Amino acid sequence: MFKKKSASRAARLTAIAVSVAALTAGLPAVADAAPVTVIPGLPPVQVPELPKVPTIPGLPPTSKSKPKPSTTTPTTPGVPAMPNVKTPTGYVALAVDGDHQIYWWKNGEFIKKMPISMGSDAHPTPNGVYHTKEKYRDMYMDSSTYGVPVDSPEGYRTYVEYATRMSWDGIFIHAAPWSLAQQGVSNASHGCINVSTENGKWVFDNVGRGTPIVVRGTIGGQYTGD
Q: List, for residues 135-168, the tens digit of each pLDDT value.
A: 999 999 988 877 788 998 888 899 999 999 999 9
- Per-residue model confidence (pLDDT) at position 76: 81
Catalytic residue flag (residue 174): yes
pTM: 0.67
Q: List, for residues 207-217, the tens digit of each pLDDT value.
A: 999 999 999 99
- Per-residue model confidence (pLDDT) at position 27: 47
Write the secondary structure of the chain as one string of H (helix), E (strand) and C (coil).
CHHHHHHHHHHHHHHHHHHHHHHHCCCCCCCCCCCEECCCCCCCEECCCCCCCCCCCCCCCCCCCCCCCCCCCCCCCCCCCCCCCCCCCCEEEEEECCCCEEEEEECCEEEEEEECECECCCCCCCEEEEECCCEEEEEEEEHHHHCCCCCCCCCCEEEEEEEEECCCCCCEEEECHHHCCCCCCCCCECCCEEECHHHHHHHHHHCCCCCEEEEECCCCCECCCC
Per annotation, catalytic residue among 123, 131, 190, 192: 192
Catalytic residue flag (residue 131): no
- Per-residue model confidence (pLDDT) at position 144: 83
| Per-residue pLDDT in tens (0 to 9) along the chain, 226 residues | 444 555 566 556 555 554 545 444 554 444 455 555 556 666 666 656 666 666 666 666 555 555 555 444 567 889 999 999 999 999 999 999 999 999 999 999 999 999 999 999 999 999 999 999 999 999 999 888 777 889 988 888 999 999 999 999 999 999 999 999 999 999 999 999 999 999 999 999 999 999 999 999 999 999 998 8
| Nearest alpha carbon to residue 164 among 187, 144, 139, 189 | 139
**Separation CA 207–CA 14 (nearest Å):** 105
- Per-residue model confidence (pLDDT) at position 20: 46
- Per-residue model confidence (pLDDT) at position 52: 67
Per annotation, catalytic residue among 100, 131, 174, 190: 174
| Nearest alpha carbon to residue 90 among 112, 67, 107 | 107
- Per-residue model confidence (pLDDT) at position 152: 87
- Per-residue model confidence (pLDDT) at position 33: 53
Q: Which domains does the chain have, with CATH numbers?
A: 91-216 (2.40.440.10)
